[in-house]
Amino acid sequence: MKTPISLLFIFAAYNLSAQSETFAKRTVISGLNKAWEVVYGPNDSLWVTENSAYLISRVNVANGSKTVLLDLRATDGTINFTSGSGQQPQGGLMGLALHPNLYSADPLVRAAKPWVYAAYVYNRGSCPGTNTSCIFTTKIVRYTYNGSTLSSPVIVLDNIPGSSDHNSGRLIIGPTIEAGSDAAHTQYRLYYTVGDMGAGQFLNTTRTENAQAVNVMEGKVLRINTDDDGDAGLDAWVPNDNPFYTAGTVTPSDYVYSIGHRNAQGLVWGTSGATNRLFSSEQQDRSDDEINVIEPGSNYGWDKVTGFCEGNVNGFKIGQTTNPNEQTFCSATPTYKDPIFVTFTEPTAQMGALYAESDNSLWPTIASSSIDFYKQNKIPGWNESILVSSLKQDKVYRIKPNSAGTGVLTLPNGTDTISYFRGDGNRIRRIRIAPSGLKFYVARDAGTIMEYSYTGVTLSSHFTDFRVRLTGTAIAELTWDAVTDQYHDHFEIERSTDGNNYYLLGRYDGQAPYKFIDGAVQPGNNYYRIKQIDKDGKITYSQAVKIVYDPSKAIITIYPNPVQDDLTMRVSVLKRSQMKITLTDAEGKVVYKKQNTFEPGINNLKINMRSITAQVYILRITDYDGEIIATEKVIKL
C-alpha cells in the first residue's frame, strides 16, 4: 500500500515548487536544547525558549551570545518530571510573548509594563491505564524583565490541560490595544492555542476528545488579559467581551475565543487588505493541514471536519469520531468556518489506502509548526504573505492570502505555494521574520537558529507614504516618501476633481525630502497622486489621496514635527466646526483619538505625546461628515 500513497505525495509535492529568490545564510547559534519559540526582541535580540531544558534566553543576533534570563527547572519546583524519555510532555516550555511596551525607546514606557509571558507544561499528574499517556497541566505566567533576568512570576492562567501530545502552546499578543468597558479593561490581549491532547491516537488512544466541548480548554484558541483588569478573582485575567464569557464564577469557556482545533502550533496577526486578521496554522491527521482565519466564537471543525467541509474523510475515523459526515456537521453548525487553505488533501477514493499506511512520514501532511506574516515592501511580490514552517518537510512555505481573507492567491510560479530555506537540517520549529523584512530566522530541532538574509533585488521605486494637507487659502502641501533605485528619473504630480481624470500639476526632479505645493486647490474634492517615472519610461503610481477644500472650513498647521512632548495643532476656522482627530501607528493601530469642537478664529489643540512609543504615526483630521481635511506624518522621538 505504500506505493500509491507515496506516489500521490510526490505528485502533490511537485506542485509546491521551490524558490527563485536568493538568500545568504549563517548560523546565529547552535547547541540549543531545541528552540521552541523565537521572538524578535528589542535591540536586535532573539528571545528563545528551549522546550525540555526550560530555559528562557536572550540571544544577540550579531554574535550569537546567549544570556539565560530564567531557568525554570531551577526556579519552579512544580515541574515534577525530567527531560528523560517517557517523562517529557510534548513541547514542555513553549510559547513566549513580550509586552509591546518593551519595544519602546522611552524608558518610562518600558518601565510601566516590563512584562514577558511564557506558557509551559509543569505538572505530570496521573497516568491512567497502560494505553493512556499521563495527564499533564500547563500554565501561563507573567514575569517582570529587569534587563538581565525574568522574575516576580504572576500566574495569568493555570490548569490548562496538558498531554504527551498536541499541547500546541503558541502564545502571542494582539497588535492593538483592545477596547473594554473602562481603562482597566482596555489593554492588549494574549492569544494562546491549546491542542486536542492527541486524543484518539498513539498513547492517547482512549483520551476524551474535547475540541468541540466549549467548557474544556482543549482544542481551543484562548484569549486572555495581559494585565489584571480589576475584576474579582480569576476574572481579573478574563476579557469580559470573550465570545463565551458569562459574569460570575469563572469557567474554562470564559477564556475561549474559538473552538474545534486539533493542533494549532502557529498563530499570527497580519494585515491583508485593510483588515487585521488572526491566522493559524494547524496540524491535521493524515492529510489536510490547515491555514485558518480565526474569528471569535467560530468553530474550526475538529474532530467532525478536517480540511474543507467537502466530505473527503466521511466514514474514516478522525479524532474520536468513528464515522464522520463533514457536510452533515457543517450544515448543522452555523459557526463552522472552513480553512482558507490546506497544504495537501486527498479525495475519498484515496482515503482507504491512506488509512492503511502506517508510516506517517508518507502521509500528505507537513506538520506545520509555526506561522509568521510578511508585511513589507521589500522583497518583490512578498508583501502580505504568510510563511509557514514544517516539521516534516525541511521547508518554509510561502502562501499569500487574498485581501478578503477567504482564500489564497496564485503566486508567480503559477501555484499557491513556494518553499524556502531547505537543506540545513530537518524539523523546522519556528520561522521568524525580522522587522527589516530582509532577514529570516529559522529554528530547527537540531538546536540551531539560522539566519537567511535576502540578497536579491529589493523593490525598486515604490511609495511608502503620501500625505496632503491644506496649509493656507487654496494652498495644499504634498509630501511623500519613496524608495528609489538607480533607474529612477523624476516624479510628476497629478490632480483630479473626480478621482478619475487626472491632470499634470508639475514635476519634481530633486532628492528627498519630496515636497510639492499646489497653490490652486479647487473648492470641493481634490484627488492627488504621484507618478514616478524611470529612465526607461516605466511608471509607478502612488495611492491617491483625497482632500476636500471648503474655504469656510479649516486651515491647519501642526508643530513641532518631529515631536518629543506636546504636538500642537493650530486650527483656523471661519465657523464653529466639529472635527475628529486620530493618530495611528504604521500598523493602523489607533493610539490617540479625539473629537473636538473648534470656535471661529484660531484654535490651539495640544496632544500629549510623552507616553507614546517613539515611531512614525499618521495624524488624520476629518470633518463631521468623515471627509479628510488633512493627513500628516508625525515622528515621535
Crossing angle of helices 2-15 and 348-356, rounded to 10° = 120
Min. distance of Cβ 226 from Ca ion in angstroms? 12
Cell numbers representing residue 223 in the block? 484569549
Min. distance of Cβ 354 from Ca ion in angstroms? 13
Min. distance of Cβ 206 from Ca ion in angstroms? 24
Segment 583-602, which members bind Ca ion (CB under 5 A)? none
Min. distance of Cβ 370 from Ca ion in angstroms? 18
Name residues whose C-beta falls within 8 Å of residue 29's C-beta, 6 or more positions apart in sequence. 46, 59, 64, 66, 448, 449
428/58 Cα distance (integer angstroms)? 20
Q: Which is nearer to Ca ion, 165 or 326 (CB)?
A: 326
Which of 235, 372, 494, 632: binder of Ca ion (CB under 5 A)? 235
Q: Does residue 307 touch Ca ion according to CB under 5 A?
A: yes
Q: Which is nearer to Ca ion, 263 or 577 (CB)?
A: 263
Q: Which is nearer to Ca ion, 237 or 528 (CB)?
A: 237
Write the CA distances from 15 to 49, 363, 368, 418, 419, integer angstroms: 34, 16, 18, 9, 11
408/386 Cα distance (integer angstroms)? 10
Alpha-helical (H) ranges within 71-170 are 72-75, 107-112
Q: Which is nearer to Ca ion, 106 or 231 (CB)?
A: 231
Span of 135-143, 302-310, 474-482, 504-512 interacting with Ca ion by CB under 5 A? 302-310
Span of 99-107, 201-209, 296-304, 457-465 interacting with Ca ion by CB under 5 A? 296-304
Span of 96-104, 152-160, 238-246, 561-569 interacting with Ca ion by CB under 5 A? 238-246
Q: Which is nearer to Ca ion, 79 or 194 (CB)?
A: 194
362/344 Cα distance (integer angstroms)? 12
Min. distance of Cβ 211 from Ca ion in angstroms? 10
Q: Which is nearer to Ca ion, 300 or 374 (CB)?
A: 300
Q: Which is nearer to Ca ion, 245 or 508 (CB)?
A: 245
Segment 526-585, which members bind Ca ion (CB under 5 A)? none
Q: Which is nearer to Ca ion, 229 or 492 (CB)?
A: 229
Span of 34-42, 58-66, 299-307, 347-355 interacting with Ca ion by CB under 5 A? 299-307
Cis peptide bond N-terminal to 231, omega within 30: no
191/221 Cα distance (integer angstroms)? 7
Span of 236-244, 316-324, 454-462, 506-514 interacting with Ca ion by CB under 5 A? 236-244
Burial class (CB in 10 A: 0-12, 13-18, 19+), 282: buried
Which of 17, 132, 205, 240: binder of Ca ion (CB under 5 A)? 240
Which of 195, 219, 301, 364: binder of Ca ion (CB under 5 A)? 301
**511, 498 contact by CB (below 8 A):** no
Q: Which is nearer to Ca ion, 327 or 473 (CB)?
A: 327
Q: Residues in the chain, how many?
A: 637
Q: Which is nearer to Ca ion, 231 or 481 (CB)?
A: 231
The side-by-side arrangement of strands in the sheet containing 601-608 is 554-559, 566-573, 601-608
Q: Which is nearer to Ca ion, 254 or 492 (CB)?
A: 254
Strands 418-420 and 189-194: unpaired
Min. distance of Cβ 207 from Ca ion in angstroms? 20
Q: Number of residues interacting with Ca ion: please give it, by CB under 5 A.
A: 9
Name residues whose C-beta falls within 8 Å of residue 479's C-beta, 6 or more positions apart in sequence. 466, 467, 513, 514, 515, 516, 633
Q: Which is nearer to Ca ion, 5 or 238 (CB)?
A: 238
Residue 15 — left, alpha, or beta (φ > 0 → left; ψ -120 to 50 → alpha)? alpha
Min. distance of Cβ 290 from Ca ion in angstroms? 5
Q: Does residue 122 touch Ca ion according to CB under 5 A?
A: no
Min. distance of Cβ 618 from Ca ion in angstroms? 32
Alpha-helical (H) ranges within 348-460 are 348-356
Min. distance of Cβ 287 from Ca ion in angstroms? 9
Cell numbers representing residue 192 in the block? 494562546
Residue 425 — left, alpha, or beta (φ > 0 → left; ψ -120 to 50 → alpha)? left
Write the CA distances from 442 to 365, 448, 503, 592, integer angstroms: 20, 8, 49, 36
Torsion angle of the four alpha carbons 123, 128, 129, 130, in this order, in degrees rounded to the nearest 10: 10
Which of 115, 279, 300, 382: binder of Ca ion (CB under 5 A)? 300
Q: Which is nearer to Ca ion, 33 or 328 (CB)?
A: 328
Min. distance of Cβ 317 from Ca ion in angstroms? 14
Span of 122-130, 235-243, 394-402, 539-547 interacting with Ca ion by CB under 5 A? 235-243
Span of 115-123, 214-222, 295-303, 605-613 interacting with Ca ion by CB under 5 A? 295-303
Torsion angle of the four alpha carbons 423, 424, 425, 429, in this order, in degrees rounded to the nearest 10: -110
Q: Does residue 283 touch Ca ion according to CB under 5 A?
A: no
Q: Does residue 312 touch Ca ion according to CB under 5 A?
A: yes
Query: Is the dihedral angle over the CA atoms 207, 208, 211, 215 positive or is it negative?
Result: negative
507/217 Cα distance (integer angstroms)? 61
Min. distance of Cβ 121 from Ca ion in angstroms? 24
In a 3-state reduction of DSSP, which class is residue 66?
A: strand
Q: Which is nearer to Ca ion, 230 or 506 (CB)?
A: 230
Q: Does residue 100 touch Ca ion according to CB under 5 A?
A: no
| Max CA pair span of the chain | 84
Min. distance of Cβ 307 from Ca ion in angstroms? 4
Min. distance of Cβ 328 from Ca ion in angstroms? 13
Q: Which is nearer to Ca ion, 270 or 301 (CB)?
A: 301
Q: DSSP secondary structure string, 231-260?
A: -SGGGGGS-TT-TT--SSS--GGGGEEEE-
Min. distance of Cβ 338 from Ca ion in angstroms? 7
Segment 193-232, which members bind Ca ion (CB under 5 A)? 229, 231
Min. distance of Cβ 212 from Ca ion in angstroms? 12
Footprint of Ca ion (CB under 5 A): 229, 231, 235, 238, 240, 300-301, 307, 312
